[in-house]
Chains A and B, each alone.
Chain A
């Protein structure tokens, strides 16, 4: 079990929190959960493209992260995404990397 992931026997990542009183989550019903997963793929893809990676939903339970040459990792949730991405590309995925920021700024312009 990992303090970063908090994962063992089920996903309770903060972006994916189980619904309970007072807690904000996009994990309320199956439709919303499904919608949020697709949003997540689309939003993460924008960043992952910089590293030549693609992300897709797998059966609504996991995500598949792949390189252009077909190397693949299964990812449970966002907590695992960046560790898996770094493993595949063998370099850090740093949101403060000026090249990544420049790319996001350019693509969005």
Chain B
């Protein structure tokens, strides 16, 4: 089995402290074998690391499929880096960190790594880390999307913002992305390993089933399902939902109790892109119900919930037929 190199994305709005965070992270021994791809050149000296320049070019492939907008330059840059690694021209890095520009939509970057026919055989997506500036807060659609997509949130500049603003901002972040661990950069020690570590160790288990919150048309909610799920049905439902409404599903993540699987299965998607489902080692707590967190823009919770229930219901005669056919 090949070893996949994790790719972490550091995103966040202009001036929200991405490069400073990266600089702090790279000082950590846990990241000593890390290559770095960065959009803007050298505000911070990173000479001892591997730097490649990516031009901020969006490439629209001619297939006419809207979801095919990928960052061709990024793909070429990562391939080039990988090629140099294989040829021994650069040290054999074990992780790649991509720092995007403040205005970048994270989705095309993630889809490049996940869907590129070469990259997907060598790299896998790691955590997305989003920095949020406590002084300027959210507001721009780009930064709301960056927060929704995050696996880890890092709040910066809290030392120069007043406490009320920080509190309000934290509440806002929690509304948008209820379960991503939130780190306050100015106060807490940055634990690089925890920040870039396994994406599925998030706090999904503690999301209250009834939590619902909103930020304009963007809101998040959690669905909880009793009993084991039929994976095939789930695949059909989610594929259909993302096909039609993918651009409005900023994020879907969940741990599922799948029929025939003793341990939970983690699913994790960003718009049209769904990561390969992962077997978790164990349930995070005693609750054996499936939990799905949605962060959506303009879709109604009631509608998604009803649709899921309608797809999930399995009449006995149909399962009987399926079992016969399978046998």
Expressed in whole angstroms, the Cα–Cα distance for A95 and B234 within the complex equals: 12
From B63, B241, B299, contact of A2 by CB (8 A): B63
From B231, B272, B300, contact of A3 by CB (8 A): B272
Please list the residues of chain B having a beta carbon within 8 angstroms of any beta carbon in chain A.
1-2, 4, 61, 63, 65, 67-70, 108, 111, 114-117, 120, 230-233, 235-237, 239-246, 258, 261, 265, 267, 269, 272-279, 299-300, 303-304, 306-307, 310-311, 313-315, 318, 321-322, 325-326
**How many A-B contacts if CB must be within 8 Å?**
144
CB distance from B107 to the nearest CB of A (A): 8
* Chain A contacts with B in 72-109, Cβ cutoff 8 A: 78-79, 81-83, 92-96, 100-101, 104-105, 107-108
In the complex, per-residue mask of A1-20: 1 if CB is within 8 Å of any chain B CB, else 0: 11111101100111101001
Contact B239 A81 (CB under 8 A): yes
Please list the residues of chain A having a beta carbon within 8 angstroms of any beta carbon in chain B.
1-6, 8-9, 12-15, 17, 20-26, 35-36, 38-44, 46-47, 78-79, 81-83, 92-96, 100-101, 104-105, 107-108
Contact B243 A83 (CB under 8 A): yes
Smallest CB gap from A96: residue in B: B303
Contact A3 B63 (CB under 8 A): no
Asked whether A24 and B236 contact (CB < 8 A) given A2-B115, A3-B70, A96-B245, the answer is no
Which residues of chain A are near B246, meaning CB under 8 Å?
4
Expressed in whole angstroms, the Cα–Cα distance for A4 and B246 within the complex equals: 9
From A4, A14, A82, contact of B67 by CB (8 A): A4
Expressed in whole angstroms, the Cα–Cα distance for A82 and B242 within the complex equals: 10
From A36, A93, A107, contact of B240 by CB (8 A): A93
Interface hub of A14, A17, A47, A81 (most chain B Cβ within 10 A):
A14
From B241, B276, B310, contact of A105 by CB (8 A): B310
Expressed in whole angstroms, the Cα–Cα distance for A93 and B241 within the complex equals: 9
Contact A38 B325 (CB under 8 A): yes
